[in-house]
Amino acid sequence: MPDFYGTLAGAEAYHVARGNAAWTGEDALRHAALVRASSFVDGLGTRLPEPGKAVLAFPGHKVGGRSQLLQWPRAGAIDRNGDAIDPGQVPVEVEYATYEAALRELTAPGSLRPDFVRAGAVKREKVGPLETEFFDNSEAGADAVLPVLATVDQLLAPLMVRRSLAPAVRVV
């Protein structure tokens, strides 16, 4: 079973076509970046909804069940247009999103999954007569420190479905 989406050759061609000169270095480092990027992409598609909040998630279910390492390929998946996604293939959007995230990981290893220390969040700090109040993300959880990669989100958008815990009414 593969441990990342796409191929090293595919990533090379993708980045060359886009002029991303930073996609260089040893194959082992680029491979590791692709592995970490695939984990990041899978995390974007498997978020759990909270009461009253919807999340975007991958449709369908893993073809190989729990023994399948990555989230794709998936069975029963359709895109936002209602078109079936071949259960034997990984969508090109997932591969391209992985290549984009891997570039970030190659240039800044660990940046896709920064550590989150709840006790480290500062609400207010006063030094002498100066006082600063920082945005408090201590209630937001670990997802609040994850980077938002607009290109990755845009690439995955056609594949994502909205999930929520609350009952919903859809008006057509």
**Which long-range contacts does 109-118 make (Cβ < 8 Å, 24+ apart)?**
109/33, 109/36, 110/36, 111/147, 112/36, 112/37, 112/39, 112/40, 112/146, 112/147, 113/36, 113/39, 113/40, 113/146, 114/145, 114/146, 114/147, 115/145, 116/141, 116/142, 116/144, 116/145
39 has pLDDT over 90: yes
Q: Between 5 and 114, whose confidence is greater?
A: 5
User: What's the pLDDT at 99?
Assistant: 98
The per-residue pLDDT for range 87-97, each reduced to its tens digit, is 999 999 999 99
Least confident of 21-30, 37-46, 127-136: 127-136
Percent of the chain with pLDDT over 70: 81
- Show the tokens assigned to 78: 């359709």
User: What's the pLDDT at 111?
Assistant: 92
The per-residue pLDDT for range 114-170, each reduced to its tens digit, is 876 655 555 667 777 877 666 554 455 556 667 889 999 999 999 999 988 866 566
User: What's the pLDDT at 67?
Assistant: 95
